[in-house]
Amino acid sequence: MKAIPSSVIRFGLAIAAARISALLVLVWLERTGRQTISALPLVFLLYPEGLLLPYRAGAGFVARVIVLSGLLVVGSLAAVAIVSLLAKQLSR
């Protein structure tokens, strides 16, 4: 199996950074009581990994953000790697 090019990894990390930034903005909005329906597009950036952690108010807030951040990084890298491999297969 060939190694994944570094440009694909950088692109995956850039996507992960954007998704984690959206998570942090949503956390800030929630904690300051400013979250409104206008934040809904940011919520869509957290799917599908955001569905893995059930909502429990006040239960280990910092730990849950850290776990979700890790899931977002892994999910972003996996998605970019899969798309890259599929694109290589289709271009043959």
Can you give the pTM of this predicted structure? 0.87
DSSP, collapsed to helix, strand or coil, labels residue 27 as helix
Domain count for the chain: 1
Domain containing residue 23 = 6-90
Q: What distances in angstroms separate CA 14 from CA 27, 38, 60, one per listed residue?
A: 20, 24, 27
DSSP, collapsed to helix, strand or coil, labels residue 59 as coil
Tens-digit pLDDT profile for residues 45-92: 999 988 887 777 666 788 888 989 999 999 999 999 999 999 988 987
